[in-house]
Structure 1
Amino acid sequence: MKTRVMVASPVKQKEVILREFLSSLEKLDQSGIELDFVFIDDNNEHNLLDNFSMGKKNVRIIREESIDTYVCDEKTHYWREELIWKVAAFKNKFIDIALQQGYDYLFLVDSDLYLHPKTVKHLISLKKDIVSEVFWTKWEPDLTPLPQVWVSDQYQLYDAPRGQELSEEEINKRVAAFIEMLSKPGTYKVGGLGACTLISRRALSMGVSFSEIYNVGFWGEDRHFCIRAAALGLELFADTHYPPFHIYRESDLEQLKEYKKKISLGHSKAGKKVSSSGWHKRKGNKITLAMLVRNEADRYLKEVLQQARQYVDSAVILDDASEDHTVEVCERTLEGIPLNIVSNKKPCFNNEIILRKQLWQMAIDSHPDWILILDADEIFEVNAPRILKILAQNKDIYYYSFRLYDMWSETHYREDDYWCAHKRYRPFMVRYVPGFHYLWNETPLHCGRLPVNITEFKGENHDLKIKHLGWLKPEDRLRKYYRYKELDPQCIYGIAQQYDSILDPRPNLVRWGQDKTK
């Protein structure tokens, strides 16, 4: 017997956005499940819902004659208290219908989302009573994208046990950890959620509701739903395998085109291991260097590329609007090696994720076997060429991790509580798997050089070391210090004490070659 799911949405939406939402509903995978759609038409000035229902027996439209105005523009959405509780009543009506008509699940979804086709089936497979698929939104144009799920209270993105006083540094650290967790494919327990939520019949029967809890002052009907659910003994979960696209502004429609490409047929389920049988037999072991550069001509670029040309078979380089002769250095040093250089007209260094994803796309467009991502101030040990060539021949491994040493001089690297990157392995070289849905840590700073879900494959740590030369000179350290202070003044993505420690006049240094880390 098929699982019955009622997909429900209150609709007061712009025509251009609603059209995309309904299009995504048409594409939902319904194999093995029975979907019915119920909409509350809150006095829309178009007939898209009627058009969607034509010829379908599984669509129900409930008309509401309302004179309320709901304003949303390119800055944000403007909610008033009476609108919130009107929507809460709509959602409670959906709960009543789902209970009365015996549905196994109620899927409540906002009408400005574009859903991944596998969303509903995947959420059902988790067998959770209440679970939301996470999406990311810039709540205001200049803000960093944040999730619609949270840890506690109104919208607190960090854990803070009662009675525990946290420093600003610790709060920032915990926020970053929560954001990083949600950037990886998985299912996580949270304290608050909404907008894209699957609710089981068990939870509905227990009395979940969006009604106002009179002695709770939190704003928003989702807060009251989540508090009531927890009080009933129900746990809340957030899933990150198939994030929808939030069309929060009409200007987001352009970016939606890229999202559609990513989820088009041929992309595998995020978080699922892609079978390696057969495909690697058609692939080789060539290494493509991918590098991001900006004004590197008079620093370490030539030295890094001179070594790299000994072991790479091709290179793609993204130049972020350099104002010196960086491009000429790349072309001259890598002469004779297949090379693709793209130069941005305007710099994007204040939003690293844009550059990292652009570089990744350039790399995969070159149809690579292996992608090695190095920065222009990172160089392997002298025996790297031979070792990397050997590693690339291993058909059972899909990524290699190495240790990175922050060099504070030609002969010493730094080691203390905040400078210990060399004590852990991190991926630098990854075998490209066509069809795998790669996911990123969508933050403007410290986003990482590689997609976060490459660890779904089998990887290996290797003792080959990498020197990070970018900290060698005092003037380099001072420049980086001011850059971090400018781009992350609230220390949301990094740690304030680490930023300040950059200028420590007496750092603890260890001579290169005396590393005892294993």
Structure 2
Amino acid sequence: MVNALAGACRADKYLGVLLVIKVVVGSPVKQKPAILEQFLQSLENLDYEGLTVEYVFVDDDEGCNLLYAFAGKYANTTIFKGDNPLEYHCDEETHCWQENLIWKVAAYKDRIIEYALQARADYLFLADSDLYLHPQTVKHLLSLKKDIVSEVYWTKWALQFAPLPQVWVGDQYRLFHAERGVEYSSDEQAMKSQEFIDMLKNPGVYKVGGLGACTLISRYALERGANFKEIYNLGFIGEDRHFCVRAVALGLELYADTWYPPFHIYRESELVNLAKYKHRIARNTEHPKLTVGMLVKNESGRYLERVLQHIAQYADEVVILDDGSTDNTVAICREKLVNIVHCIVENSISGFSNEVELRKTLWELAGGTNPDWIMILDADEIFEHKAAEGIRELIKDDSVDVVYFRLYDMWNESSYREDSYWIAHRVYRPFLVRYRSGYKYEWQEQPLHCGRFPINIFDRTGKQSQLRLQHFGWARPEDRVAKYFRYKELDPKAKYGVQEQYLSILDPKPNLIKWRDDE
């Protein structure tokens, strides 16, 4: 394992140096070998770039060979021997926890906490040994800068139940927000619980009342006294409940993250489904699927052929929404996309007077192709010639969800415009977004200049790319005149745009700068 000295570092304001973040990864272990093998494999696959990592296990399995084989590979591993082994029964139906077993596990976790404090770790990551972790789990949780945060996973606690999360709102396992002194009917409880569950299905970070099993804890929280000891006057079952109540009483807050859910191997029979989970991760990192979406209308004789030819170099699938073309635009799309998976949807009547509905429809069509990433382009936008390979590399970056590019407004085939109203190329704008199924996307609800992406993508982690995008929509005089009169008709009072910029479209002597391919 490599502990690189670049990446996630912290500054020591007194010494004026950068110190690498140290993380202790710990777990009490009493596990079936087939499941433990997968857990350890996922630990090996975690992204630790920029971190110093130590592993700590409490072996309650009377000398598990897999643990010691792992320690033989990684010298930064410590194994404590468990004491007084107790029988732990789990089968294909459920897991059976006895009170004395719960507090033995709590003592093991506290032993790991003590180790992390003595090792001067910045964070402790506690994970149950029946999880298969997503490679980005630790790095992502660190990026949230929370003192206590769990990555959410979903489990059928009994075979007849629907999957539920291992985080909750309050009490023993209450999944809805409740006002003190208010009684809720069973229907109200079910409805409010479903609201909480639906919320967790959207990727995000949420404040919760209880969590466990896959948790990053800061040194600050550990030094404040966060631990798993029993609170003697609290009747809740389970050491995680006592940890959470104590943490909140100490002034700490609890958070749940839903971006990178691990796979919970609650039953050996679920190893079959684990293979699908691992395949999905591999696809996302080795060859993530990119769908390009495009809104078109009467593009014949303009730039559509060039744009589609370039897109075919890097897209896995293309979705076209034709907004009532009266020329052969659709035929061009079919011809140029003959060798790539594509979908073309035709509107019989143009809907551009309410652009946001068109953008929503295009987004939904692209999302329906089961993509990892979506790029939205217009039919007169094309990346510079070297971009194809670069785009494929960009979507392999699992640490970001939005990629921003510069858009150059070409005023002819070889020059772009730059003046007070035409500086798009100085601003990085989103053109490439990781798609999250089930996420509740929100739009800027206005009929013009609504944006091509949902507005809440800006809440996600992003990065800037130096690949440039040329916009030829202004490159021909006849196109500029047509756009001028279209904006004059659709937005006569410049409610959604800038009047001065609208007027400047017809400027006879704009400031132009030569495009350079080698920039």
User: What TM-score results when the alignment is normalised by the length of structure 1?
Assistant: 0.59
- Which residue of 177, 202, 208 maps to 1:190? 208
CA distance in 1, matches of 2:122, 2:185: 45
1:137/1:433 Cα in 2 relative to 1: closer, same or farther (>3 Å)? closer
> Aligned letter for 1:281?
I
Aligned residue runs from structure 1 range 347-366, under 5 A: none
Q: Give a deviation string over 1:396-432, Cα, whole Å, max 9, x none.
A: 9996259xxxxxxxxxxxxxxxxxxxxxxx9566474
**Displacement of 1:436:** 3.3
**Equivalent residue of 2:439, what SS?**
helix
**Displacement of 1:453:** 3.0
| 2:162 paired with 1:132 | no
**Displacement of 1:371:** 8.8
**Equivalent residue of 1:107, what SS?**
strand
The answer to whether the Cα contact below 8 Å between 2:94 and 2:157 also exists between their aligned partners in 1 is: yes
**Displacement of 1:384:** 4.4
The answer to whether the Cα contact below 8 Å between 1:399 and 1:454 also exists between their aligned partners in 2 is: no
Paired position in structure 1 for 2:311: 281
1:57/1:34 Cα in 2 relative to 1: closer, same or farther (>3 Å)? same
| 2:400 paired with 1:400 | no
Paired position in structure 1 for 2:8: none
1:203/1:312 Cα in 2 relative to 1: closer, same or farther (>3 Å)? farther
Aligned residue runs from structure 1 range 204-219, under 5 A: 204-219=222-237
Greater gyration radius: 2
1:51/1:275 Cα in 2 relative to 1: closer, same or farther (>3 Å)? farther
The answer to whether the Cα contact below 8 Å between 1:401 and 1:459 also exists between their aligned partners in 2 is: no
The answer to whether the Cα contact below 8 Å between 2:153 and 2:264 also exists between their aligned partners in 1 is: yes
The answer to whether the Cα contact below 8 Å between 1:137 and 1:246 also exists between their aligned partners in 2 is: yes
The answer to which structure, 1 or 2, has the higher relative contact order (CA under 8 A, 6+ apart) is 1
The answer to whether the Cα contact below 8 Å between 2:116 and 2:124 also exists between their aligned partners in 1 is: yes
The answer to whether the Cα contact below 8 Å between 1:399 and 1:459 also exists between their aligned partners in 2 is: no
1:384/1:276 Cα in 2 relative to 1: closer, same or farther (>3 Å)? closer
Aligned residue runs from structure 1 range 119-518, under 5 A: 119-264=137-282, 266-267=284-285, 281-282=311-312, 286=319, 368-369=341-342, 384-387=347-350, 400-401=360-361, 427=364, 430=367, 432=369, 434-436=371-373, 451-453=437-439, 455=441
- Which residue of 108, 111, 124 maps to 1:90? 108
| 2:126 paired with 1:108 | yes
The answer to whether the Cα contact below 8 Å between 1:42 and 1:65 also exists between their aligned partners in 2 is: yes
**Equivalent residue of 1:95, what SS?**
helix
**Displacement of 1:267:** 3.9
Q: Give a deviation string over 1:55-90, Cα, whole Å, max 9, x none.
A: 322111111243311010000000000000000000
1:222/1:398 Cα in 2 relative to 1: closer, same or farther (>3 Å)? farther
The answer to whether the Cα contact below 8 Å between 1:72 and 1:78 also exists between their aligned partners in 2 is: yes
| 2:70 paired with 1:52 | yes
Q: Give the CA RMSD over aligned residues.
A: 3.9
1:454/1:268 Cα in 2 relative to 1: closer, same or farther (>3 Å)? farther
Paired position in structure 2 for 1:345: none
Q: Give a deviation string over 1:129-160, Cα, whole Å, max 9, x none.
A: 00000000000111100000000000000000
- Which residue of 43, 51, 58 maps to 1:40? 58
CA distance in 2, matches of 1:269, 1:135: 24
The answer to whether the Cα contact below 8 Å between 2:293 and 2:319 also exists between their aligned partners in 1 is: no
**Displacement of 1:2:** 1.1
CA distance in 2, matches of 1:231, 1:247: 32
The answer to whether the Cα contact below 8 Å between 1:116 and 1:243 also exists between their aligned partners in 2 is: yes
CA distance in 1, matches of 2:358, 2:219: 42
**Equivalent residue of 2:230, what SS?**
coil
CA distance in 2, matches of 1:275, 1:50: 48
**For this pair of structures, how many residues does the alignment match?**
339
CA distance in 1, matches of 2:119, 2:204: 32
**Percent identity, aligned pairs only?**
49
CA distance in 1, matches of 2:176, 2:163: 16
**Equivalent residue of 2:81, what SS?**
strand
**Displacement of 1:166:** 2.0
The answer to whether the Cα contact below 8 Å between 1:43 and 1:65 also exists between their aligned partners in 2 is: no
CA distance in 1, matches of 2:292, 2:249: 43
> Aligned letter for 1:400?
K
CA distance in 1, matches of 2:367, 2:174: 35
CA distance in 2, matches of 1:228, 1:146: 24
The answer to whether the Cα contact below 8 Å between 1:399 and 1:460 also exists between their aligned partners in 2 is: no
1:399/1:85 Cα in 2 relative to 1: closer, same or farther (>3 Å)? farther
1:47/1:460 Cα in 2 relative to 1: closer, same or farther (>3 Å)? farther
Q: Give a deviation string over 1:107-131, Cα, whole Å, max 9, x none.
A: 1100000000000010011000000
CA distance in 2, matches of 1:200, 1:95: 11
Where in structure 2 are there 5+ consecutive unaligned residues?
1-18, 295-306, 322-328, 375-435, 449-519
Q: Give a deviation string over 1:352-392, Cα, whole Å, max 9, x none.
A: xxxxxxxxxxxxxx9754598xxxxxxxxxx944448x89x
Paired position in structure 2 for 1:18: 36
The answer to whether the Cα contact below 8 Å between 1:135 and 1:148 also exists between their aligned partners in 2 is: yes
1:167/1:15 Cα in 2 relative to 1: closer, same or farther (>3 Å)? same
1:236/1:180 Cα in 2 relative to 1: closer, same or farther (>3 Å)? same
Q: Give a deviation string over 1:14-68, Cα, whole Å, max 9, x none.
A: 0000000000000000101111100001034640001111132211111124331
1:246/1:367 Cα in 2 relative to 1: closer, same or farther (>3 Å)? farther
Greater Cα offset, 174-183 or 158-167: 158-167
The answer to whether the Cα contact below 8 Å between 1:368 and 1:432 also exists between their aligned partners in 2 is: no
